[in-house]
Amino acid sequence: MVVLFDWGDTVMRVFPEYEGPMACWPRVETVSGVTEVLQALQPCYRLILATNAPASGAALVREALARVGLEGYFQAAFTARELGVRKPEPAFFQAILRELDCAPHDTVMVGDEYPVDVVGAKEAGLRAVWFNPQAAFCPLAHPLHDGEVYAMADLPSVLENLHLPDVAECLALLAEQEAPPRVLGHSQAVAAIAFRLATWLRELGEAVDPLLTHRGGLLHDLDKITSRRRNQTHCQLGARLLREKGCPDLAAIAEHHLMFTILDPTSRPATWEEKLVYYVDKIVEGAVAVGVTRRLGELRQRYPEYTEEFDRCVPLVLELEAEICARLGVSPAALLERVN
């Protein structure tokens, strides 16, 4: 696998007070932890620099790297100045892929600028890891990145576990299962809101994976239509498809999102990811967050044969809502306002 690294503020610190080529700056420093990470990655990956640095070509980039002892870790350095095109243009990444003779799906871009490094790489078909040392919120409702690290020390483990399907792959899976627009709209709304809640919880110190939550939200109704046609219980087919694709965590989210799973202590949602997708699915009617009372009222009307089961679910769903709201420090009404 090829790993492309952005340069400024991903490998080397940028000091705004300095101008011109970094190789000529009076002070140069690496980003914290990057030397150890490059040492760990070099035996397993082809490491390449890919930078928009306006004042430096490849030779000057290597001079700057040499000043901090990093020049030996990178097989090549590609600059916008020499390529004649800048990130986030797909042509920037495509030119590098041609030079390296490698495929987009075997290449990962690591960078700190979301619109430039992440969005650009994804538009070119690469995988992307967002280096986010400031713990900033994702600028998109539907995160495009495949992995995220707050500290460089976490990069090796993230690169080893880029197993989640990205947004395009999730949408393709839904298309394969003939998800109609109403199911697609509902799934996208659940994913976006659950991702936002997961991000807030992570900021509060909870052990939750916002990306897993988002992809689980997108795919929780994967088999909504095809399961009916095959006379299977909703989520059985979706969970099987996801396990076959090596995504057991996503399969578990699909299995635990069904309304009545909360009635059984052995099957109710257990992880934060499962709880969030389950809960958001119970406040989103169509593609709009309407709250538990209205959403369950709509479901009761749609499935009157299950009125008794719905009545048993209501206090448990409200209990889950109270747990989520208490951790976020908001009321259910305030939560609903924040996500709309």
Give the structural domain span for 251: 167-339
Segments in the chain below pLDDT 50: none
Q: Do 24 and 42 fall within a single domain?
A: yes
User: Looking at residue 256, which CATH number applies to its domain?
Assistant: 1.10.3210
What is the model's pLDDT at position 178?
86
Do residues 152 and 196 share a domain? no
Asked if residue 207 and residue 107 are part of one domain, the reply reads: no
**110 backbone dihedrals φ, ψ, rounded to 5°:** -115, 120
- Whether residue 56 is found in the same domain as residue 173: no
Domain count, the chain: 2
| Assigned token pair, 191 | 């994913």
pLDDT score for 232: 64
pLDDT tens string 280-290: 999 999 999 99
Is the same domain home to 150 and 35? yes
Residues 124 and 262 grouped into a single domain:
no
- Single-letter residue type at 132: N
Q: β-strands 284-285, 107-111: how paired?
A: unpaired
One domain, residues 308 and 325: yes
Query: Looking at 130, 160, 190, which one is the last position of a domain?
Result: 160
What does the alpha-carbon distance between residue 292 and residue 319 come to, in Å, rounded to a whole number? Answer: 11
pLDDT attached to residue 226:
72
- Assigned token pair, 235: 């989520």
Position 8, amino acid: G
> Is pTM, for the whole model, over 0.85?
yes
Name the region of 84 (left: φ>0; alpha: ψ -120 to 50; beta: rest): left
Same domain for 260 and 181: yes
The SS3 call for residue 207 is: coil
| Cα-Cα-Cα-Cα dihedral sign, residues 114, 118, 121, 123 | negative
> Which of the listed residues 117, 132, 160 is the one where a domain comes to its end?
160
| Type of residue found at 39 | Q
Cβ(130)–Cβ(149) under 8 Å?
yes
CA distance 110 to 38: 12
4: β partners? 48, 109
Q: Are residues 193 and 94 in the same domain?
A: no
Which of the listed residues 145, 160, 175 is the one where a domain comes to its end? 160
Residues 90, 46 share a domain:
yes
Query: CATH number of the domain that 35 lies in?
Result: 3.40.50.1000
Give the Cα separation of 236 and 239 in Å (integer): 5
- Judgement on whether residues 207 and 154 belong to the same structural domain of the protein: no
Counts for the chain of helices (H) and strands (E), in that order: 16, 8
Same-domain status, 150 and 178 = no
Query: Which tens digit of pLDDT belongs to each residue from 175-222?
Result: 998 888 999 999 999 999 999 999 999 999 999 999 999 999 999 999
Q: Which DSSP string do the residues of 83-109 spell out, in sequence order?
A: HT--TTSHHHHHHHHHHHT--GGGEEE
Residue 227 has a pLDDT of 62
How much is the pLDDT for 231?
Answer: 63
